[in-house]
Amino acid sequence: MERFEPPDTTSQRQAFERDGFVLAHALITPDRVGSLHDRFERLFRGEFETGVSPDEVNWQEVDGDPTLTRQICNGWKADRLVAETVLSADLGRSIAELAGWPGARIIQDNLLWKPPGARSLGFHRDNAYLAWYTPRQMLTCWIALDDTTAEGGTVEFTVGSHRWRTGNDPSTHFHAPDDHRAPVVSAATAAGLEPRFHHVEASAGGGSFHHGWLWHGSGPNRSDRHRRALVLHCASSEARFDRSGFGQGNGSIYARYARLTDDVMDENHFPILWRTDGYRTPGI
Higher pLDDT, 27 or 170: 27
DSSP code per residue over the chain: --------HHHHHHHHHHHSEEEES-SS-HHHHHHHHHHHHHHHTT--TTS---SEE---TTT--TTSPEEEE-GGGT-HHHHHHHT-HHHHHHHHHHHT-SEEEEEEEEEEEE-TT---EEEE-GGGG-TTEES---EEEEEESS---TTTT-EEEETTGGGS--SPPPP---BS-SSTTHHHHHHHHHTT----EEE----TT-EEEEETT--EEE----SSS-EEEEEEEEEETT-EE-GGGTTSTTHHHHGGG--SS--B--TTTS-EEEETTS---TT-
Confidence of residue 128 (pLDDT cuts 50, 70, 90): very high
Confidence of residue 197 (pLDDT cuts 50, 70, 90): very high
Residue 87 has pLDDT above 70, yes or no: yes
pTM of the model: 0.94
**Average pLDDT for residues 128-143, to the nearest whole number?**
96
What local confidence, expressed as pLDDT, does residue 1 receive?
Answer: 40
Per-residue pLDDT tens over the stretch 186-196: 999 988 999 99
What is the percentage of the chain residues whose pLDDT exceeds 70?
Answer: 95
**Average pLDDT for residues 17-39, to the nearest whole number?**
96
User: What is the fold of 9-275?
Assistant: Jelly Rolls (2.60.120)
Confidence of residue 175 (pLDDT cuts 50, 70, 90): confident
**Average pLDDT for residues 218-222, to the nearest whole number?**
97
What local confidence, expressed as pLDDT, does residue 34 receive?
Answer: 97
